Amino acid sequence: MTANSIFEDKQTIKNNIRKEYNDELQIEPIPLATLYTPQVDHYRLSEVGFIVIEDGWDEQSLLNLQQQVGCTLFALQTSDKHIDRFEVIDGIISCKADEVGQVITVFESVLSDRDKVGIDVNDIKRSCGSEKIAKFMQARVTGIPDSEQIKSTVNHLLNQIPEGLSIQYTMLDIESDHKLSLDEFFSITTAVESRTVDDSEMFYGNRMIDKPDHCWMGAIYVAG
């Protein structure tokens, strides 16, 4: 082996190490939730995926999506148009066309808090993946004292559930201008659980936002 060949071998090893190092730096964390559309050739991985039924998905395009991402997949129904559940669809959530982003935000918020409350994607899949269609609702309160914001917002939210129905499963995202106190969080859970059935499953997320006198809550729920 010549001196030149030894040098070339060492240089090749260095280049390979440098390439592997650069590749590692380019690895991005898998997003918690992603909205997929059928007009692309390649889909990035995600922990939970969403498709909008009205975007024109069919069984084959859904199968292609599932083969690429392999994640829990929810269909969002934004009109009267329906879709067969197929095996690749884990659940259907009804919302308005301009609420798609908020639905995804609820999932992101709840999943980002999972280390604190000990849940995982399979827990959510079991609840929102029931045979019934889940529904999205939201309420926003601004311009009133902090002491009244939480109670007012959760009451506005729960009043949207028709009389006689009780919550079986829900994911609730709370967006406020301050960190919730234990008393505030307890008032929320008490209000929600007053509308639940026995053995119901509840998942909560909480985020702070820089908007004075602001409180928003969004919930995805299945009612019985």
* pLDDT tens, N- to C-terminus, the chain (224 residues): 544 444 444 455 545 545 554 555 455 678 889 999 987 778 888 889 999 999 988 888 888 898 888 888 999 999 887 776 667 888 899 999 999 999 999 999 988 876 666 567 777 777 676 678 899 999 998 877 676 888 899 999 999 998 888 888 899 999 988 888 889 999 999 999 888 888 788 889 888 888 877 889 999 999 87
Per-residue model confidence (pLDDT) at position 175:
92
- CB < 8 Å & 24+ apart, contacts of 41-48: 42/68, 43/68, 43/69, 44/69, 45/69, 45/70, 45/71, 46/71, 47/71, 47/72, 47/111, 47/121, 48/72, 48/73, 48/74, 48/107, 48/111, 48/121, 48/124
Fold of 33-223: 60s Ribosomal Protein L30; Chain: A; (3.30.1330)
pTM score of the predicted model: 0.81
